[in-house]
A and B are shown apart, each in its own frame.
Chain A
Amino acid sequence: MNVAYFPGCSLHGMASEYDLSARLVCKHLGINLQEIEDWNCCGATAAHSLDHLLNVALGARNLNIVKEMHLDRVTAPCAGCFNRLKTASYEMRHNPRVAAEVEKLIIAPAPVEPEVTNLLQLLIEIKGIEAIARQVVKPLKGLKLAAYYGCLLTRPTKVVEFDASEQPISLDLLLNALGAETVIWGHKAECCGGGYAASETNIVLDLGGQVLDSAHAAGAEAIVVACPMCQINLDSRRGKIEADRGKKYDMPIIYFTQLMGLAYGYSPRQLGLSKLLLNPITLLKSKELV
C-alpha cells in the first residue's frame, strides 16, 4: 500500500519518537509511507485563528504535491495537521467560493482529489484490526490504559468522518487488539488545551489537568495518545498540575505507535521510549513487557 506521508513540524521536532515509531510500525504492516517532498507547515492553530483562507491555502499546496506524487491518499500522524489538512480539503470540496479564492492564492487548481486520513484511521479502517492483531508477538497483557483521542481526531464529525465524537472507540479497539486493557473514562475526547501550550499555559494546566485527573480516577496506568500536542502538554505540565491539584499522576503518556511497536517485538530503544519525559520503562518492566 502506497500512502503519502505528512509528518508535520512536531514530528520533525519534539515528537520525533512518534515519527520513528509510526514509520517502523507502518513498514512492518506493509504500508509504504512516502514523505511529501518539500511539504509546508499545515498552519496549526495560528493560521485558522488569524486567517481562514491561509489555512486552506497552506493545505492546498501540500495536497497538490500529493497529486504530483500520483498518490490518492495522504496520512498524518499528528491530529492537528490531519485536522487542518482535512478541513482545507473539505472547504475546497464543498465551498466553490473558497476554492476559487484559494486558486488565486496558490496559482494552481484547488486539489479536491486526495483523501486525507489520520494515521489511526488508516490503520484501523484501511489496514484493519485483524491485520494489526495478527502481527502481535508480545501481547501487552496486564497494562491498563486510557485511550486519549484529544479533540481533533474525531471532530467535527461531518469533516473527519471517523469515530464517535465524544466517546470514540477506535483506539480502544486497537489497544485491545494489542492485548492491553482499556479503561472507561469521561475525558477520552476532551481537549488538552492544545495550541495554548506556550501562550496561555493556564488553559493547558486546567484542561490537561482535568484529563490527567480523569484518567487517574479511572485507574489507568498510562495514557495513550495520537497527537504530539496532547503528548507534550500532558507530559511536560504534569509537575505543575500535580502541584496545583495536590495529587500524583504517575502515568506515562505514550504514543500508540510505540505500543504497537512494542507488541510487534521492537525494543524500547528502537521506539524512542526514553525520549518521553516520563519514561514508561519502569511501568513496562513492572508488567514484564521489557
Chain B
Amino acid sequence: MPDSTKQVTQSYYKTYKLDNIDDSLKLELKEKCGIDIETCLECGKCTGGCSNTHIFDFTPRKIVQLIKMGQETRLYHLDALWTCVSCQLCVDRCPAGIDIARIIDFVREKAIKRGAEPTRSNVKMFHELMLDEINKTGRVGETVLMIKFNLKRGLYFENADLGRKLFFKGKLKLFIPGIKNIGQVRRMFNSNPVQREV
C-alpha cells in the first residue's frame, strides 16, 4: 500500500494485548449500576456527542467496548476518567439507554479502590479537598478551597490575578459558617469505604 496509508493505518489501528477475558466486570456493572453493557450497538452516538472526546485517550464508544472485553487494567489507567466533564450528552444520545457517564464514575471509583495512579493527580486532589471541606463543615467555601488547593500544590500565586478581581467585587469569603448537625454529614463519610482510603 502507499506510504501515507501505511502511516495512517499504523497510528490508527493499534494492537492490544488483552487481559484475561472474563465476565466479572460486566456482571458487577449490571449488579451495582443496573447497566446491561451487551445492549450497546456500538453505533458511536456517544462519541459523536461527547464534549471532550477530542482529548480522551479512549473515546466513549471504545470505553464501553473495554468494559465488554473486561479490560480492567486499561480501564483503571484511562486519562478519560479525569477529563470527562459528566455533561450527560452520551447518556441522552445512546439509543440503548446506557448511562455511559455513570460507567465512567463506576470505573473511576474502582480505579481508586485498586490504588491505580490517576493520570491527572490535580483533579483527584481537588475533589478530595472539596470532600474534606464537606466532611469538616458541611459546606464548601470556594475561596478557602482555592487557597488550600494552591497551598497543597505549592502554586501560591495560581489564579492570583483572578482572586484580586474577585476580592474587589466583594466575592471572596474567607469564613463559611459550618452546619449545626455536622455529625449527620460526617457519619456518611466515616462508614464509607472509599473515604477510608482517602
Instruction: Please report the C-alpha to C-alpha distance between residue A206 and residue B140 in the assembled complex, in whole angstroms.
Output: 26
Contact between chains at A193 and B184 (CB < 8 Å): no
Q: Flag the segment in B4-12, B13-21, B187-195 that touches A.
A: B187-195
Q: Flag the segment in B36-44, B57-65, B66-74, B118-126 that touches A.
A: B118-126
Chain B nearest CB, measured from A166 CB (Å): 7
Contact between chains at B86 and A46 (CB < 8 Å): no
Kindly state whether residue B170 has any CB partner on chain A within 8 Å. Answer: yes
Determine the chain B residues whose CB is within 8 A of the CB of A95 once the complex forms.
Answer: 34
Instruction: Please report the C-alpha to C-alpha distance between residue A79 and residue B142 in the assembled complex, in whole angstroms.
Output: 17
Kindly state whether residue B96 has any CB partner on chain A within 8 Å. Answer: no
Determine the chain A residues whose CB is within 8 A of the CB of B117 once the complex forms.
Answer: none
Taken residue by residue from 158 to 182, chain B's Cβ proximity to chain A (1 for < 8 Å, 0 otherwise) reads as 0100100110011111001001110
Residue in chain B with minimal CB distance to A108: B184
Instruction: Please report the C-alpha to C-alpha distance between residue A16 and residue B146 in the assembled complex, in whole angstroms.
Output: 18
Kindly state whether residue B46 has any CB partner on chain A within 8 Å. Answer: no
Contact between chains at B112 and A166 (CB < 8 Å): no
Determine the chain B residues whose CB is within 8 A of the CB of A12 once the complex forms.
Answer: 139, 173, 176
Contact between chains at A54 and B189 (CB < 8 Å): yes
Q: Which of B51, B141, B145, B188 contacts A190 (CB 8 A)?
A: B51
Q: Which of B126, B159, B169, B173 contacts A46 (CB 8 A)?
A: B126
Q: Which of B179, B185, B194 contacts A51 (CB 8 A)?
A: B194
With contacts A48-B105, A104-B191, A151-B87 known, is A191 near B123, CB below 8 A?
no
With contacts A13-B173, A199-B149 known, is A155 near B89, CB below 8 A?
yes
Contact between chains at B131 and A45 (CB < 8 Å): no
Chain A nearest CB, measured from B190 CB (Å): 9
Determine the chain B residues whose CB is within 8 A of the CB of A165 once the complex forms.
Answer: 89, 92
Residue in chain A with minimal CB distance to B198: A50
Kindly state whether residue A277 has any CB partner on chain B within 8 Å. Answer: yes
Kindly state whether residue A127 has any CB partner on chain B within 8 Å. Answer: no
Determine the chain A residues whose CB is within 8 A of the CB of B82 once the complex forms.
Answer: 200
Taken residue by residue from 38 to 50, chain A's Cβ proximity to chain B (1 for < 8 Å, 0 otherwise) reads as 1111011111111
Contact between chains at B179 and A39 (CB < 8 Å): yes
Number of A-B contacts (CB under 8 A): 175
Chain A nearest CB, measured from B126 CB (Å): 4
Contact between chains at B130 and A44 (CB < 8 Å): yes
Contact between chains at B88 and A49 (CB < 8 Å): no
Residue in chain A with minimal CB distance to B149: A198
Kindly state whether residue A152 has any CB partner on chain B within 8 Å. Answer: yes
**Which secondary structure characterizes the binding site on chain A?**
helix
Determine the chain B residues whose CB is within 8 A of the CB of A49 once the complex forms.
Answer: 86, 105, 108, 127
Contact between chains at B89 and A13 (CB < 8 Å): no
With contacts A207-B85, A275-B171 known, is A40 near B109, CB below 8 A?
no
Instruction: Please report the C-alpha to C-alpha distance between residue A275 and residue B102 in the assembled complex, in whole angstroms.
Output: 36
Residue in chain A with minimal CB distance to B54: A206
Residue in chain B with minimal CB distance to A164: B92
Of listed A47, A51, A236, residue having the most chain B CB within 10 A: A51
Kindly state whether residue A196 has any CB partner on chain B within 8 Å. Answer: yes
Residue in chain B with minimal CB distance to A53: B192
Instruction: Please report the C-alpha to C-alpha distance between residue A51 and residue B102 in the assembled complex, in whole angstroms.
Output: 11
Contact between chains at B92 and A156 (CB < 8 Å): yes
Chain B nearest CB, measured from A35 CB (Å): 13
Contact between chains at A196 and B123 (CB < 8 Å): yes
Determine the chain B residues whose CB is within 8 A of the CB of A40 once the complex forms.
Answer: 134, 138-139, 179, 184-185
Contact between chains at B120 and A194 (CB < 8 Å): no
With contacts A151-B88, A155-B91, A277-B165 known, is A10 near B142, CB below 8 A?
yes
Q: Which of B52, B125, B189 contacts A207 (CB 8 A)?
A: B52
Contact between chains at A156 and B99 (CB < 8 Å): yes
Contact between chains at A199 and B109 (CB < 8 Å): no
With contacts A46-B127, A191-B51 known, is A203 near B89, CB below 8 A?
no
With contacts A46-B127, A151-B89 known, is A105 near B105, CB below 8 A?
no
Query: 12 A-B pairs, CB-CB below 8 angstroms?
Result: A13-B173, A43-B131, A45-B127, A51-B195, A58-B188, A106-B184, A156-B99, A165-B92, A166-B89, A166-B92, A190-B87, A191-B51
Shortest 6 CB-CB distances between A and B: which pairs? A155-B88, A199-B126, A191-B87, A151-B87, A46-B130, A46-B127
List the interface of chain B (C-beta within 8 A of A): 34, 49, 51-52, 55, 82-83, 85-89, 91-92, 97, 99, 101-102, 105-106, 108-109, 112, 120, 122-128, 130-131, 133-134, 138-143, 145-146, 149, 159, 162, 165-166, 169-173, 176, 179-181, 184-185, 187-189, 191-192, 194-195, 198
